[in-house]
Chains A and B, each alone.
Chain A
């Protein structure tokens, strides 16, 4: 099975900061990677698919990059609505493994 490892687990940042979250796959997944945002008590929301494609309606301050085994999610200027937990997910195989999550907190 493909394992996904996110870092950091928790990130403290201020409004307006540039934030980067990293996701590493245990083997190559080409560009079959998605990023989700989840707020407490809510379902996850798709932000990025195919490593760098922005889902419709998602603000352009979110961007994704990478291929193979290393990927990043970047928020260019952190906004109040962005404090949440972020998950990566590989979909190179049907197991659809998620990373353990990165909680973005207010500094």
Chain B
């Protein structure tokens, strides 16, 4: 069974940093592109970051460019999101999500984690 389990969320002050993790199991993690998607309280879904299977290609939403860094460790079957210079508007549930088909380029997301809540507030 495919599982994605996020961790690392919590309360952080504006300007602070946080590192999210996503532990993957039940599939060949190193073959799949991965993403982070967030959802502010009561709002819709917003794609945040993409990373290729090897980690060599990364894309970020304009809203997080220069502040957030996506990375992965295929040996540990783990995905990460380093979030710096956090703002109140970054408050959201953060989901890791798997591209549906390995190596297919831009794709939809067929597996999602349960999400981890990040709250940016003083």
CB pair A101 B44 closer than 8 Å: yes
Residues of A within 8 A of B (CB-CB), count:
25
Chain B residues, Cβ within 8 Å of A97: 47
- A32 to B108 alpha-carbon distance, docked (Å): 8
Q: Are A95 and B44 in contact (CB under 8 A)?
A: no
Residues of B within 8 A of A (CB): 35, 37, 44-47, 50, 59, 61-62, 95, 100, 106-110, 112-115
Do B44 and A99 touch (CB < 8 A)?
A: yes
Q: How far is the CA of A92 from the CA of B105 in the complex (A)?
A: 9
Residue B112 contacts which of A43, A92, A96, A98 (CB distance < 8 angstroms)?
Answer: A43
Q: Which residues of A contact B (CB under 8 A)?
A: 1, 32, 34, 36, 38, 42-46, 49, 55, 87, 89, 91-101
A43 pairs with B113, CB closer than 8 A: yes
Also in contact, A49 and B108, with CB within 8 A (given A44-B45, A100-B44): yes
Bound state CA distance, A95 and B108, in angstroms?
Answer: 11
Measured in the bound complex, the distance between the Cα atoms of B47 and A99 in whole Å is: 11
